[in-house]
Amino acid sequence: MKSGLEDVVAAETVLSDVDGKNGRLIVRGVSLDDLVTSSRYEDVLELLFDGFFPMRGSVQPALGAARQEVFAHVAQTDPALVALPPVEGMRALLARLDDGDDLAAALRLVAAPSVFTTALLRLKAGLSPIAPDAGLPHAADVLRMMTGTMPSMQQVSALDRYLVTVADHGLNASTFAARVVASTQAGLTSSVLAALSALKGPLHGGAPGPVLDMLDAAATPADAPAWLESALANGERLMGFGHRVYRVRDPRADALKGAVRVLAGSGAIDPARLALAEAVEAAALDLLKRKKPDRPLDTNVEFYTALLLEALGFSREAFTCVFAMGRVGGWIAHAREQALDGRLIRPMSVYVGPMPQVAA
């Protein structure tokens, strides 16, 4: 057995392929590079759900209706729930949705992270939640529900690109958690709750907040190399770098870097912030190459996620929730694929504890 189940194959999937050697991600036959230029989040949902649910026509109106349906649960939010970190408050609200296995249950679960997160962020700020507009594309409505104003085209397309980029990624920790629960036939809400709990950890979906903390601490491009060197010497991991599967650059990092550059061009990102990020990235890559020569460590998806979500106005503590807004589509498709397989996931462990004393 290998610690962390590294290289262990635990599922067959038609959903996505993570090619760690060549830095390539394929989602149902489409490479990420093509997907981000040609698709909105709704298109990727149709791609992922095809064959797992009876899909008739465009998913956009049904997803809009699901946002409205889910919004009714926001009325049950109490102050203790608002006081929780957003990902925990969102998870608590999501747990109130019925378990189910049909398309209606799936779309409620896709809608839930967006509707609950934006409502909780407003409640935390002392503002009233804004009801969804079922007629809008998903990414546009997410930003409108958060700010109360219609976002620009560049903002909508940046969020869409992010949601598409993170929608599915092989058998990552949260997707595996979703599949384990699905194999018990517990239902989609239970699968998504398990996945969300796995996503929350800093080694998985909790990294982009700490990426910004790192940029703040590094302070200036000139100070960055010394700060990074001392962090690494203190045994810290540099957030936004390294990956279990990719041995080269994570292709999602470039997909998001492109969106960040477009946002910077429209004035939504301070050029000094982007320059600092690029300097930190270059210094970190140089340092990791020198200090960890045996382990190729490159930029992962979380590094430019941090800049993109910051520019769109999400607070750091909400970043994992936004990751869930995108990844939930992949969790649901994987849960359906696993449930249809029909076999319980039940691996073995090797007992290494003491044996009972045998009387002499």
Residues making contact with ligand ACO (CB under 6 A): 4, 203-205, 207, 237-244, 292, 295, 297, 300-302
Query: CB-wise, 132 or 242, nearer to ligand ACO?
Result: 242
For the record, the structure tokens of 43 come out as: 């298109």
Report the Cα 316 to chain-centroid distance in Å: 14
How is residue 356 annotated by DSSP?
P
Smallest separation, CB 228 to ligand ACO (Å): 10
The strand ranges marked E within the chain are 16-19, 24-27, 30-31
| Element housing 320 (H / E) | helix 319-341
Query: CB-wise, 289 or 295, nearer to ligand ACO?
Result: 295
Smallest separation, CB 205 to ligand ACO (Å): 6
Smallest separation, CB 4 to ligand ACO (Å): 5
For the record, the structure tokens of 226 come out as: 């010394």
Query: CB-wise, 74 or 284, nearer to ligand ACO?
Result: 284
Residue 320 and residue 88: Cα distance in Å, rounded? 10
Query: CB-wise, 96 or 295, nearer to ligand ACO?
Result: 295
Query: CB-wise, 6 or 12, nearer to ligand ACO?
Result: 6
Count of other CB atoms within 10 angstroms of residue 14 = 13
330: Cβ–Cβ under 8 A, 6 or more apart, which residues?
Answer: 15, 16, 48, 167, 168, 169, 175
Query: CB-wise, 160 or 302, nearer to ligand ACO?
Result: 302
302 is catalytic: yes
Q: Which of 243, 281, 310, 337 is catalytic?
A: 243
- What's phi and psi for 243, nearest 5 deg? -160, 145
Residue 302 and residue 205: Cα distance in Å, rounded? 8
Smallest separation, CB 255 to ligand ACO (Å): 13
Residues 90, 131: contact at Cβ < 8 Å? no
Residue 113 and residue 323: Cα distance in Å, rounded? 9
Smallest separation, CB 321 to ligand ACO (Å): 14
How is residue 129 annotated by DSSP?
-
Smallest separation, CB 288 to ligand ACO (Å): 6
Residue 315 and residue 317: Cα distance in Å, rounded? 6
How is residue 344 annotated by DSSP?
-
- What's phi and psi for 343, nearest 5 deg? -105, 135
Q: Which of 302, 310, 334, 337 is catalytic?
A: 302
243 is catalytic: yes
Smallest separation, CB 207 to ligand ACO (Å): 4
Query: CB-wise, 23 or 205, nearer to ligand ACO?
Result: 205
Residue 336 and residue 106: Cα distance in Å, rounded? 10
Phi-psi region of 319 (alpha: psi -120 to 50; beta: other; left: phi over 0): alpha
Q: Nearest residue to ligand ACO, using CB?
A: 242
Q: Which residues are catalytic?
A: 243, 302
